[in-house]
């Protein structure tokens, strides 16, 4: 029987270059830390200029950019690829202000949500593929909101459901180039971004703490739960997996 490689051999990302959008905080920062731990050369693309300190702590390079702006996104991808090749793209940056009741939602709100959460993920993947001549792995961050919807988060649910379609379509087209494309649907994860929205969500009838208490494993989600899943999908451990949505939610949607 063939001797299987050890786990550490299989998640060795030495010599690989990765780009993590929105990688300065929350889920993105945890994913960046895990990729660095596995040996990857990581670049964070983040709109927040203060992230440069976090980037230094994480030992990653920092591209201060708004990924919805094409020239800024292209420059960030080029930087991450070191003008050469890119192996991993983590499409993580996203916003989730509560949408409010459908009848009160403006077109501008929906457009802004879709522009970052969907269109920029599409564009980032397209730009990254230009540098993935050796094959690669793209991991898109969706949400359990894509699977079960929710009152007052209709625009967000719509955007994150689109990410699943995008993932499957890209996986089909890019498979022959040995580029795998997968998505993760996180459950409720305690991040700064979520913290900022908790009160507004509660006013709209979504109690984050009650939702955590109701999940089968009774676990409060930390960013590293998602980072471990992203590391798995990004690495050769997931060599046979593409077009997949990995739900990481302590059983909330079970
Ligand atoms: N936290 C949760 O409970 C949860 C659950 C499911 C899915 N998600 C998804 O996970 C992802 C990360 O969520 P989080 O809670 O870590 O968010 P967060 O708000 O804590 O961090 C998001 C990061 O993205 C950056 N960013 C925002 N807009 C950007 C832009 N235009 N260009 C570049 N960077 C930008 C921010 O500066 C920030 O550093 C999002 O896509 C979110 O929808 C989060």
**What is the rounded CA–CA span in Å between residue 111 and residue 4?**
48
Beta bridge partners of residue 246, listed in sequence order: 184
pLDDT for the residue 123: 98
pLDDT digits (tens, 9 = 90+) for 127-184: 999 999 999 999 999 999 999 988 889 999 999 999 999 999 999 999 999 999 999 9
Nearest atom (ligand 1) to Cα of 196: 19
Q: Which residues line ligand 1 (CB under 6 A)?
A: 21-22, 24-28, 45-48, 66-68, 92-96, 116, 141, 143, 186, 188-189, 191-194
Contact criterion met (CB below 8 Å) for 249 and 144: yes
Query: How would you classify the pairing of strands 41-46 and 17-21?
Result: parallel
Sign of CA dihedral 184, 140, 86, 135: positive
**What is the rounded CA–CA span in Å between residue 20 and residue 42?**
7
In a domain, 123, yes or no: yes
In a domain, 253, yes or no: no
Examine the residue annotation and report whether 131 is marked as an active-site residue of this protein. no
Residue of 19, 21, 27 best suited for mutating to test ligand 1, as the one with most atoms within 8 Å of CB: 27
pLDDT at 214 over 80: yes
In a domain, 2, yes or no: no
pLDDT at 14 over 70: yes
In a domain, 50, yes or no: yes
End-to-end CA, the chain: 37
pLDDT digits (tens, 9 = 90+) for 27-40: 999 999 999 999 99
pLDDT at 5 over 80: no
Sign of CA dihedral 191, 24, 21, 28: negative
Catalytically annotated residue among 122, 156, 209, 225 = 156
In a domain, 254, yes or no: no
Average pLDDT value for residue range 79-104? 96
What is this structure's pTM? 0.96
Tally of structural domains, the chain: 1
pLDDT for the residue 1: 66
Beta bridge partners of residue 81, listed in sequence order: none
What's 107's domain CATH number? Answer: 3.40.50.720
Task: Give residue 77's domain range.
Answer: 7-248
> 168-199 burial string, b = 16+ CB within 10 Å, else e?
eebbeebeeeebbbbbbbbbbbebebbeebee
Cα dihedral 37→183→20→57 (10° resolution): -40
In a domain, 1, yes or no: no
pLDDT tier at 9 (50, 70, 90 boundaries)?
confident
pLDDT digits (tens, 9 = 90+) for 41-69: 999 999 999 999 999 999 999 999 999 99
In a domain, 182, yes or no: yes
Q: Which residue has the tokens 């409720």?
A: 188
- What is the total residue count of the chain? 254
Average pLDDT value for residue range 221-227? 96
Contact criterion met (CB below 8 Å) for 182 and 233: yes
In a domain, 162, yes or no: yes
């Amino acid at each position: 029987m063939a001797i299987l490689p050890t786990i550490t051999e299989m998640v060795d990302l030495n010599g690989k270059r990765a780009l993590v959008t929105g990688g300065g905080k929350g889920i993105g920062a945890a994913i960046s830390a895990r990729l660095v731990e596995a040996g990857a050369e990581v670049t964070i693309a983040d709109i927040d200029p203060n992230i440069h300190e976090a980037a230094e702590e994480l030992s990653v390079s920092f591209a201060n950019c708004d990924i919805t702006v094409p020239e800024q996104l292209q420059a960030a991808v080029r930087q991450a690829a070191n003008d050469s090749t890119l192996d991993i793209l983590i499409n993580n940056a996203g916003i989730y202000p509560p949408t409010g009741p459908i009848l009160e939602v403006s077109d501008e709100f929906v457009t802004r949500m879709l522009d970052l959460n969907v269109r920029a993920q599409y564009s980032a993947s397209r730009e990254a593929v230009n540098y993935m001549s050796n094959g690669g792995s793209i991991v898109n961050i969706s949400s359990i909101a894509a699977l079960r919807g929710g009152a007052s988060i209709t625009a967000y649910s719509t955007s994150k459901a689109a990410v699943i379609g995008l993932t499957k379509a890209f996986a089909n087209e890019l498979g022959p180039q040995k580029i795998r494309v997968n998505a993760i649907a996180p459950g409720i994860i305690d991040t700064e971004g979520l913290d900022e929205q908790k009160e507004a969500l509660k006013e709209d009838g979504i109690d984050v703490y009650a939702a955590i208490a109701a999940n089968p494993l009774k676990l409060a989600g930390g960013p590293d739960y998602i980072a471990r899943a992203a590391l798995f999908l990004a690495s050769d451990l997931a060599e046979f997996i593409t077009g997949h949505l990995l739900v990481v939610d302590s059983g909330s949607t079970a």
